[in-house]
Structure 1
Amino acid sequence: MSGLRTFTLTVMGTTDLHGNLFNWDYYRDREFDDFAHNDVGLAKISTLVSRVRADVGRHRTLLLDAGDTIQGTPLAYYYARVEPITRTRVHPMAAAMNAIGYTAAAVGNHEFNYGLPVLRMFERQLDFPLLAANALDASTGLPAFQPYVVKTVWRTGGPPLRVGVLGLTNPGIAVWDRAHVEGVMTFPGLVEQALHWVPEIRRKADLVVVVAHSGADLSSSLGDQVPFPENCAELVAETVPGIDAVLVGHAHVEIPERFVVNKVTGRRVLLTEPLFWGKRLSLMEFDLRHDGRWELEGSRSSVLSTATAEEDPRIVRLLRHDHEKVVSYVNARIGTCVAPMSAERARFEDTPALRFINHVQALEIAKSTSLPVLSLCAPFNRAAAIPGGEVSVRDVAGLYIFDNTLVGVRLTGAQLRDFLEESARYFARVSGRGPFTAAEVSADVPDYNFDIAYGLTAPLTYTIDIAEPEGSRITRLAYDGEPVADADEFAVAVNNYRHAGGGDFPHIASAPVLHDRQQEIRQLLIDWVRAAGVLDPAGFTGTDWRLVAGGDPVIVSTNE
């Protein structure tokens, strides 16, 4: 027994960084803060990583990321569209991750949002591999990205330890970014590809860690559009023998530590997911023993909060100039607003803020059709508020925080009703008119899956009766004062996420396309304000839809 050796490996993990480099809110032009007083950004992650390395020894650590890195903030948009990255202009997120010393990262679905040239340029700029075993070249069937990497840890006090890292991405990419990947790449299921690759990795490695851009709990917003689930990291751990741990991403939830039992081997598999935007760093610790070969004896995980850390001065010095460019861009004046315009209550009543978005979308679609034009959009950002007085890029961009493009489709009246019924699932069923808190009337549906409708040249009016069961909530649906007939036809503005099937809304994905010019909706809003010079909320005031219970208006308080 004297030959036995032990070693503890620490594997750190981040996920869903979404372009958060510093602890900065570009939409509010101030340090980031939320209701829980979290902090965000790679600069703070860097400090936590340095602390861990100092505590256990850098040679005893690896650092992984589970994807969604280059989309989600004005900084990400700026270096994809305003001043795109090139061979000599390195993406700030790549520069930061290189400086911090990442070992490997998975490809997230939002990596594809700006198209393959931007993603490939980002990939070339990294000092570490970008992994995606289930992203395949459509023509050859071969991996379009490196599927895995095996890292050797030499300084164990004994034999070297070989660690295999398998990257898996989300099959929803085939739907959500169809415009960029159709005919170029295919995205088979995570379980299927893990079953293919893990045995090969296991032959080469003593420890196998999966980085999966897929939520832990089995679920999907894709319906039957793809034959694979969107979220299935726990299923991968249960189904595929030979995996020791999974770093989970995509779902934007925090899992400090979870164990599942593999159904083939009976061994426990560790799962962890750190909170998004760099709010948390996952810490996985693996106790290994060598007796002829390395064997895993125990594992555990926890999460560290970036709110406990200062920004790493080294990262600040390295990338301050890139950050300041973005701050100048988003603060550039583009017009004025007659009076403040807020999205705070847009989930519960018709607001000028959402009507403004719908109006601009509808104007573009009207250029491509003679049908009556409707528009659909969701209250993406409850905190969005355009002030009275001078209006900047960031003020308008705050209304529309996603990098979606505009699509126009043809829907019948019956299809429109079905769509609005799906949207109305956003609300919990209640009795009485209230008053209610926002939480009491809200079901477990994200804000981006509550679409609000608007008519361009004539009002589209309807009520959402949340005393009724799901599927029977849309009442008094009318266009220009006349009840909408099943056979009526409309041109409807939606975003590309919805058109691709995001949220699994009925009819949209298969609807005939009338308009698709790859126009970014956020930029259309900015351009409209810049061209008009003045934004007047009075021009977007109206009450086309109402929230009722048993026909009576519902009273909802947003003060919680």
Structure 2
Amino acid sequence: MGQGDVEGVLEFRDMVDTAAEYAPQMKAAGADVVVVLSHAGLGDSSYSVPGLPDENPADDIAREVPGIDVMVIGHTHRDVPEQIITNEVTGEPVLLTQAYRWGGTVARVDLDLHKVRGQWDVEDAEGMAIRTRDYPVHPAVVEALTPAHDKTVEYVNQVVATATEELSGADSYWRDTPIVDFIQHVQTETVEAALEGTSYADLPVLSLAAPFSRTAVFPEGEVTIRDIAGLYIYDNTLHAVTMSGAEVKDYLEYGNGMYFHTVPAGDIFDPATDTNLNNRPDYHLDLMSGVDYEVDLSEAVGSKIENLTLADGTPVTDDMQFVVAVNNYRRSGGGSYPHITAAPLVYDEQQEIRQLLIDWASEREVIDPDDFFDPNWTLTVADVPVAQ
């Protein structure tokens, strides 16, 4: 579902303001204990878009909104069974508890309540993590879930194509690889087909894709739905926007400048230590197809992109116009990339990218990198390509 599907239909309000409205209502209605269930977590937001509030304001809610005793939080997927934040209005402690991802833990909260003048008051709150691995599976739950589990396993094990060679995502975060170009090719082909006969048909189509998984691999031979889902691990849908040459360069400068460490001239780039700058996860590094470019790691942030050209060697100028295929997460502001959220939308057919990959492979029955691999970008140090 994209922004256009809910605009004017649903209202998304600031979470702090919303909590400030409803917490007093709960107290007024007679609640002795107010517990806030919030998918928002703690820490920095992956968005930085003007007018878009913080996506992880749990600590702000606890600090600013009076009357809350406990917050059960999520989204950041950390194992934090107990964290105490003092409310600035009342001076009272607020317990925040967060269970670990994928059901690894269950958060338990114990409250010590005392009755004072006919009302229960929270004297103490304690959070703890119950580790699910320490408990045996419940036979009734297993029995209830087995039909759906078996059906899912059967589905993901379906063979959709044959790969002519093994394709791995292990190095995709620092060098151009066929497995990511598979994504780029399908996105580009889909957008080009959709824009045939429109005023955008003559514009070059670029594509953006992130190296989501270092463990992704298409084995030589049979490729299953499980393998493709292991490459594209999110339920993103495909969008396309128009951008200028200047905006494309800014976009690449931002992503590469935020992800790669600066490597002084003469030093050797090490993928193990010179990536993930500022704890930037791999899924926030966008790789681009449709243009050729080099990323000179010895240059300062904002000046790393060099030799940005079209495939035929024509330099990309600021005023050139492109159609850029991109996922809905990035276009909505995820990763805080410049220009992308304000760029004119020219394609949004609610097509899930993972399904597009599955459909492409199923229709052709063969995954051959000769059909889509285009090594169009490379890392350099002082214009010397890094070892591949």
Question: Same fold, TM exceeding 0.5?
Answer: yes
Equivalent positions of 1:159-198 (< 5 A) are 177-198=2-23
Letter of the aligned partner of 1:512 in structure 2? P
Of residues 299, 316, 321 in structure 2, which corresponds to 1:468? 299
Contact 2:238 2:348 in 1 (8 A): yes
Distance 1:508 1:311 in 2: 46
Equivalent positions of 1:289-438 (< 5 A) are 289-291=114-116, 292-367=118-193, 368=195, 369-424=201-256, 425-431=258-264, 432-434=266-268, 436-438=270-272
Distance 2:44 2:282 in 1: 21
Question: 1:344 Cα deviation (Å)?
Answer: 1.0
Question: 1:179 Cα deviation (Å)?
Answer: 3.2
Question: 1:543 Cα deviation (Å)?
Answer: 2.3
Distance 2:48 2:14 in 1: 13
Question: 1:433 Cα deviation (Å)?
Answer: 3.9
Distance 1:349 1:186 in 2: 42
Give TM-score scaled by structure 2 length.
Answer: 0.92
Match of 1:534 in 2: 366
Letter of the aligned partner of 1:265 in structure 2? T
Match of 2:343 in 1: 511
Distance 1:180 1:311 in 2: 40
Match of 2:281 in 1: 446
Aligned-pair identity in percent equals: 41
Contact 2:263 2:269 in 1 (8 A): no
Distance 1:321 1:263 in 2: 51
- Per-residue CA distance 1:472-526 (angstroms, 9 max, x = gap): 2211111121221001111111111112222221111121222221111111111
Question: 1:430 Cα deviation (Å)?
Answer: 3.1
Distance 2:240 2:178 in 1: 22
Tell whether 2:60 aligns with 1:235.
yes
Tell whether 2:325 aligns with 1:493.
yes
Letter of the aligned partner of 2:322 in structure 1? F
**Cα gap change, 1:305/1:466 in structure 2, threshold over 3 Å: closer, same or farther?**
farther
- Out of 504-513 and 381-390, give the one that drifted further: 504-513
Distance 1:217 1:235 in 2: 11
Tell whether 2:101 aligns with 1:267.
no
Contact 1:255 1:273 in 2 (8 A): yes
Question: 1:310 Cα deviation (Å)?
Answer: 3.0
Contact 1:547 1:554 in 2 (8 A): yes
- Per-residue CA distance 1:431-470 (angstroms, 9 max, x = gap): 3543525244221112221110111xxxx11112223332
Question: 1:257 Cα deviation (Å)?
Answer: 1.5
SS at match of 2:82: strand
- Per-residue CA distance 1:77-97 (angstroms, 9 max, x = gap): xxxxxxxxxxxxxxxxxxxxx
SS at match of 1:482: coil
Distance 1:535 1:488 in 2: 33
Question: 1:538 Cα deviation (Å)?
Answer: 3.4
SS at match of 2:34: strand
Question: 1:399 Cα deviation (Å)?
Answer: 1.4
Distance 2:172 2:51 in 1: 30
Question: 1:274 Cα deviation (Å)?
Answer: 1.3
SS at match of 2:180: helix
Give TM-score scaled by structure 1 length.
Answer: 0.65
Tell whether 2:40 aligns with 1:214.
yes
Question: 1:384 Cα deviation (Å)?
Answer: 0.9
Distance 1:445 1:191 in 2: 26
SS at match of 1:319: helix
SS at match of 1:438: coil
**Cα gap change, 1:285/1:509 in structure 2, threshold over 3 Å: closer, same or farther?**
same
Letter of the aligned partner of 1:339 in structure 2? E
**Cα gap change, 1:313/1:373 in structure 2, threshold over 3 Å: closer, same or farther?**
same
Match of 2:353 in 1: 521
Question: 1:552 Cα deviation (Å)?
Answer: 2.7
Question: 1:287 Cα deviation (Å)?
Answer: 1.0
Distance 1:239 1:287 in 2: 23
Query: Whose relative contact order is higher, 1 or 2, with alpha carbons under 8 Å and at least 6 apart?
Result: 2
After the TM superposition, list the runs of 4 or more consecutive aligned residues in structure 1 that deviate by more than 4 angstroms. none
Distance 1:285 1:439 in 2: 43
Match of 1:477 in 2: 308
Distance 1:218 1:328 in 2: 39
Question: 1:241 Cα deviation (Å)?
Answer: 0.6
Q: How big is the alpha-carbon RMSD for the aligned residues of Structure 1 and Structure 2?
A: 1.7
Distance 2:45 2:344 in 1: 28
Question: 1:405 Cα deviation (Å)?
Answer: 1.2
Letter of the aligned partner of 2:263 in structure 1? V
Unpaired runs of at least 5, structure 1: 1-112, 114-176
Contact 2:108 2:129 in 1 (8 A): yes
- Per-residue CA distance 1:248-271 (angstroms, 9 max, x = gap): 111222222211111011111111
Equivalent positions of 1:83-94 (< 5 A) are none
Distance 2:176 2:31 in 1: 57
Task: Report the count of equivalent residues.
Answer: 376
SS at match of 1:516: strand
Tell whether 2:73 aligns with 1:248.
yes
Tell whether 2:376 aligns with 1:550.
no
Distance 2:124 2:232 in 1: 46
Letter of the aligned partner of 1:194 in structure 2? A
Unpaired runs of at least 5, structure 2: 196-200
**Cα gap change, 1:328/1:426 in structure 2, threshold over 3 Å: closer, same or farther?**
same
**Cα gap change, 1:308/1:362 in structure 2, threshold over 3 Å: closer, same or farther?**
same
Contact 2:269 2:381 in 1 (8 A): no
Question: 1:394 Cα deviation (Å)?
Answer: 1.4
